[in-house]
Amino acid sequence: MYQNYSINELYQLLKQIETTIDKYNLDPKPFMEKLGFQQPVPETEIVFEKTGGRFHLFKALEEAKERIVIKCPWASDRAIDNDLMLRLNYALDQGVQIDLGWGYQYDLGTIIKKDRHCNFTFTTEGQYRYSAMSKLFQLQKRYSDRLRLKLTGGHSKYFVCDRQFAYVGSHNILSATIPNLKIAYPDLQGDETGTIHRNPEIIQKLITRYDQAIDLTASLTPQNMRLRA
């Protein structure tokens, strides 16, 4: 469109755009996209392997301004390592609210239990699935006004960053063995697949689904299950 413009004409055009942006405090991205200097971000894209999910989870924790919703049935030290804990702390320190849904339905009352003091306990045979929960409980105590844990009992895996983007996929983002993010992204050599969504309606559906999920914590009581010795 602008290939026939001289350098001086392009310069004058850019100056006019700059003046308009400054005058009305406009977002420059649409102008840059229209000029062909910046490709529009797709509403949906496919991400592969564990690197894809973890890459975007880190992105969410680093860029969120208001709220992050994370849903994953299991939470283990294999995934919630120092790097992820640092980013969780960073987001919380920035005032971001983090809602984290955890727990698998068929583990309730069998692997996930409560002791007589109403503290969560995990049986030995299944503890590896929830080995990071103690760290998350401690983090919740430190940030009780910002980190909210919900025992949801589902099997879905997704997270939402503000209203910017959402990830939905097969990757157990909080429990699977961590990938090496230093390799070239995306890594196509794996069997985990997910999608990134930037459509506001899809993002809102995921937020609503999480918010409407019942917290099953009250269903676990010392009276209705056999306590560990």
Q: What digits encode the pLDDT tens for the residues 14-34?
A: 888 888 888 777 777 777 767
Q: What mean pLDDT comes out for the span 198-212?
A: 97
> Is 108 part of a structural domain of the chain?
yes
Domain of 22 in residue numbering reads as 1-40
Check whether residue 36 and residue 66 sit in a common domain. no
Check whether residue 146 and residue 209 sit in a common domain. yes
CA angle, 63 then 71 then 66, to 5°: 30
pLDDT confidence of residue 219: 85
Q: Which of 66, 68, 90 is nearest to 173 (CA)?
A: 68
The kind and range of the H/E element at 46 are strand 44-48
The kind and range of the H/E element at 193 are strand 193-197
> Is 229 part of a structural domain of the chain?
no
Edge-to-edge strands, sheet with 97-102: 44-48, 193-197, 165-169, 158-161, 67-71, 97-102, 147-151
Check whether residue 87 and residue 175 sit in a common domain. yes
Check whether residue 65 and residue 113 sit in a common domain. yes
Token reading at 155: 């099997």
Contact by Cβ (8 Å): 165, 196 = yes
pTM score over 0.85: no
Respond yes or no on whether the N-terminal peptide bond of residue 186 is cis (omega within 30° of 0).
yes
Kindly report the CATH number assigned to the domain that includes residue 159: 3.30.870.10
Check whether residue 30 and residue 107 sit in a common domain. no
Instruction: Kindly indicate the confidence band of residue 229, based on its pLDDT and cuts at 50, 70 and 90.
Output: very low
Check whether residue 36 and residue 141 sit in a common domain. no
Alpha-carbon span 206 to 70, nearest angstrom: 10
Check whether residue 31 and residue 125 sit in a common domain. no
Check whether residue 28 and residue 84 sit in a common domain. no
Check whether residue 34 and residue 48 sit in a common domain. no
Structurally, the chain folds into a number of domains equal to 2
